[in-house]
Amino acid sequence: MAIALRKPEEITKLRAANRIVAGALELLRQETRVGASLKELDAIAESYIRSQGAKPSFKGLYGFPNAVCTSLNEVIIHGIPSDYRLQEGDIIGYDIGTEYQGYYGDAAISMPVGAISAEDEALIACARETLYYAIDIIRDGMRFKELSHEIERFIRARGYVPLRGFCGHGIGRKPHEEPEIPNYLEGSNPKAGPKIKNGMVFCLEPMICQKESKAVIRENGWDVVSSDGLRGSHYEHTVAVINGRAEILSIA
């Protein structure tokens, strides 16, 4: 399947969908505190998304039951909101998608609950800084495999490893489109495969493990953890390639 090249008016619509994602994530950032339940936070975000005239695109997607992926501590991605109430020292990841006037938005953050350890601060920082490094180096004509290779190099230089089996992705009139963008090089040649071009819109989402890259899906069919059983982190933005560089769409 070909990778879509979006017209400026389409990018404007994608930007609108992503601004709602950004607003919901900022609201969750403000509401994250000791004692808040994951289901309450999910409901707050869903209410905000709908108040903006959008739909929570994750709700019902592939059977996911909620509006927000709430990934707690060792859960790296796809956590299902529960009645669990946040405790001092937890780390929590929020991943949100929207559909607005037929176009989709998607972004994620990981953040502390109260005071956390220096080790967990560094773990969260790795996901965040990997994401912004990747966005900064994107150029028209760069290959996606080169980007994946650079993401992996950055993660490993920090002493962590990327979660395998899950990846970034294209986005537009569907929540997941071509291409798939792993956080690691598949194969041995980063100079192979499709090139990044102006007009492409896609999501980058570093998923960080401490020791082992192998993904394990828990019995609920959703929570993704590392086989090392340790805490992980996750950050994501939707970007558009405009005038040869990546521009973040998922900001307020």
Q: How far is CA 245 from CA 68, 149, 178, 242, in A?
A: 29, 18, 19, 6
- Count Cα atoms within 13 angstroms, Cβ side, for 166: 23
Is residue 1 over pLDDT 90? no
Query: Is residue 50 exposed (0-12), middle (13-18) or buried (19+ Cβ within 10 Å)?
Result: middle
With pLDDT > 70 as the criterion, what percentage of the chain qualifies? 100
C-alpha radius of gyration, the chain, whole number: 17
pLDDT in tens, 226-235: 999 999 999 9
Instruction: Give pLDDT, residue 38.
Output: 98
Give the integer Cα–Cα distance in Å for 104 and 85.
30
pLDDT in tens, 42-91: 999 999 999 999 999 999 999 999 999 999 999 999 999 999 999 999 99
Give the integer Cα–Cα distance in Å for 195 and 49.
34
Instruction: Please name each of the domains of the chain with its CATH number.
Output: 8-248 (3.90.230.10)
Q: Token pair for residue 64?
A: 């996911």
Helices (H), 32-164: 38-51, 118-137, 144-157
Q: How many CB atoms within 10 Å of residue 88?
A: 12
Give the closest residue to 94 by CA, choosing from 116, 120, 67, 115. 67
Distance, CA of 239 to chain centre = 12
Parallel, antiparallel, or unpaired for β 177-182 and 91-100?
Answer: unpaired
pLDDT in tens, 79-92: 999 999 999 999 99
Mean of the per-residue pLDDT values of the chain:
98
Token match 């980007």: residue?
A: 147
Query: Is residue 164 exposed (0-12), middle (13-18) or buried (19+ Cβ within 10 Å)?
Result: middle
Cβ–Cβ < 8 Å for 226, 232: yes
DSSP, collapsed to helix, strand or coil, labels residue 77 as strand
Parallel, antiparallel, or unpaired for β 237-242 and 201-204?
Answer: antiparallel
Give the integer Cα–Cα distance in Å for 119 and 164.
22
pLDDT in tens, 124-154: 999 999 999 999 999 999 999 999 999 999 9
